[in-house]
Amino acid sequence: MAIASRVADYLIEQDADFELISHPHSSTSMESAQLAHVPGALLAKSVVLEDDRGYLLAVLPASSKLDLGELHRQTNRNLGLATEYELGALFDDCEPGAIPPFGSVYDVETIVDDSLAEESDIYFEAGDHEQLVHVSAETFETLLGDVQHSGISRHL
């Protein structure tokens, strides 16, 4: 596979300045970061959650763990992990586990961890397990659009 078609179209549509970084096939975000020689704090991983109100995409550094209790408090939602089946249906142009951080492209509400705003560069998976997209933090914020930012993770 390659970069997800919807993400590629979005990056082009937004005239985003980006670079693709190839790496050997990986199974986790931290493994992707290691194989691409990128600090885990700079790799934005996406976690898809759901409840009776719908889906929520939480974006946080690969080197951190989602603080589900804090997310519950901040969103007033009782969220749990979406199933592999749901991920396949929502992100049908992506390999399982290679979810891009732009929920708006897939009509999914998004919340982003504050710590990502402290970085100058951001990397993210965009549909497969063999490439990362590299953008400046400014470009990343522009691409995210109007999303909630909050402290939703703990460093591992």
Reported confidence tier of residue 156, pLDDT bands at 50, 70, 90 = confident
pLDDT at 154 over 60: yes
Tell the residue number behind the tokens 């708006």, with chain if given. 104
% pLDDT > 90, the chain: 94
pLDDT given for residue 97 in this prediction: 87
When pLDDT is averaged across residues 66-70 and rounded to a whole number, the result is 96
pLDDT for 155 equals 87
Residue pLDDT, tens place only, 11-22: 999 999 999 999
Q: Is the pLDDT of residue 30 over 70?
A: yes
Q: Domains plus CATH for the chain?
A: 5-155 (3.90.960.10)
Q: For residues 30 and 38, give the distance between their C-alpha atoms in angstroms, rounded to a whole number.
A: 9
Instruction: For residues 59 and 42, give the distance between their C-alpha atoms in angstroms, rounded to a whole number.
Output: 12
- Please say if the pLDDT value at position 1 is more than 60: no
- pTM beyond 0.85, yes or no: yes
Q: Which has more confidence, 111 or 1?
A: 111
The pLDDT tens digits for 88-135 are 999 999 998 899 999 999 999 999 999 998 999 999 998 999 999 999
Angle subtended at Cα 79 by Cα 98 and Cα 118, rounded to the nearest 5 degrees:
60
The encoded tokens of residue 151 equal 């402290």
pLDDT of residue 44: 98
Nearest to 44 by CA among 86, 2, 149, 69: 149
Rounded Cα distance, 66 and 109, in Å:
16
Q: Read off the tokens for 67.
A: 């603080």
Which residues have a Cβ under 8 Å from the Cβ of 67 and sit 6 or more positions away?
Answer: 151, 152, 153, 154
- State which amino acid sits at residue 133: V
Q: Count the residues in the chain.
A: 156
